[in-house]
Amino acid sequence: MTTLDSLATQALALSTGALLVTAALLVWRRSLAASARVLAVQGASLALLVGAIALEEREVELGVVALVVLALKGVVIPAVVARGVRVSGVQREDAPRLNPTAGLVAATGLTTLAYLVSEPISAAIAGRGVVASGPGAFAVPAGLTLVLVGLLLVVTRRRALSQLVGFLVLDNGIAAVAFLTAAGVPFVVELGVSLDVLLVALILAVLSGRLHAVIGAVTVDELDELRD
C-alpha cells in the first residue's frame, strides 16, 4: 500500500501549497467576486487535505468529513459570498487600510511567524505516519498562516463582505490545524462548526445586503455613525 501512502503525501503537499497560495491571493486581489472564487479553491484544498489524512489513516469516517468539507467550504459558503457580492453590488474592496503590496509583505512576515511558533505543535504530532515528517510538518504552519492571514484580512479590510472572507480564511486555518493535530475532529463536531460558519456567512451576507439597501454603503466604518 505504499502507492496509497505516497499518493497521500503528494496530496498533502499539494493541498498545503494550495492553501498558502490562496491565502496570498486573497490578500492580493481586491475584487470581491475573485475572492469568492479563490475561497472556493481554498475550501477544496482543505477538503483535499482532509482526504489525504483519511487516505493515510485509512479512516472512512474522515473521508466522509472530507466530502462534507468539500460541499460546505468548497461550494456552499463561496456561493453565499458570491451571491452577497452580487446583491450588495459592491465589486471591489477599494480602500483597504493596508495597500496590497504592504499586505503581501505582512503576509510574508506572518508566514515566517507561523512557521517559527508552530515548532512545538509539529514536534507534538511527530511519530504519526505521514503527518509527522515532510509535508505534514509543513501543513501545521500552513494552517497557522491561514489563521493569521485571516485575522489580517479581518483587521485591514473595510467592506463587510471582505471581512467575512477574512473570517472564513481564519476558520479554514483553524480547521486545517485541528485536522492535523487531532487526527480529525469528531465528525459531529466538525459538522456543527461548519454549519455554524455557514450560518455566520449567511447572516453577514444578508446583513451586508440590507446595509447596502438602507444606508447605501457596506463599509463597516460607517457603522460608527449608528451610535447614540
Does residue number 102 form part of the binding site for another protein (CB under 8 A)? yes
How many Å apart are CA 78 and CA 22, to the nearest integer? 13
CB of 59 to another protein, least distance (A): 24
Measured from the CB atom, is 144 or 204 closer to another protein? 144
Measured from the CB atom, is 15 or 208 closer to another protein? 15
Strand (E) or helix (H) holding 228: none
- C-alpha distances (whole Å) from 157 to each of 61, 117, 166, 171, 224 are 37, 26, 8, 17, 15
In the list 95, 105, 124, 132, the residue contacting another protein (rule: CB under 8 A) is 105
- Write the binding mask 3 to 42 for another protein: x where contact by CB under 8 A, - elsewhere: ----------xx-xxx-xx--xx--x--------------
In the list 89, 99, 187, 192, the residue contacting another protein (rule: CB under 8 A) is 99
Does residue number 107 form part of the binding site for another protein (CB under 8 A)? yes
Per-residue b or e along 12-35, where b marks 16 or more CB atoms closer than 10 Å to that residue's CB: bbebbebbbebbbbbbebbebebb
Measured from the CB atom, is 116 or 195 closer to another protein? 116
Measured from the CB atom, is 18 or 201 closer to another protein? 18
> Nearest CA to 150 among 124, 177, 189, 132?
177
Amino acid in position 183? A
How many Å apart are CA 6 and CA 34, to the nearest integer? 33
Cβ atoms 190, 175 nearer than 8 A: yes
CB of 10 to another protein, least distance (A): 8
Angle at 10 between CA 5 and CA 13, to 5 degrees: 125
- Write the binding mask 140 to 179 for another protein: x where contact by CB under 8 A, - elsewhere: -x--------------------------------------
CB of 47 to another protein, least distance (A): 17
Binding site for another protein (CB under 8 A): 13-14, 16-18, 20-21, 24-25, 28, 99-102, 104-105, 107-108, 111-112, 115-116, 119, 134-135, 137-138, 141
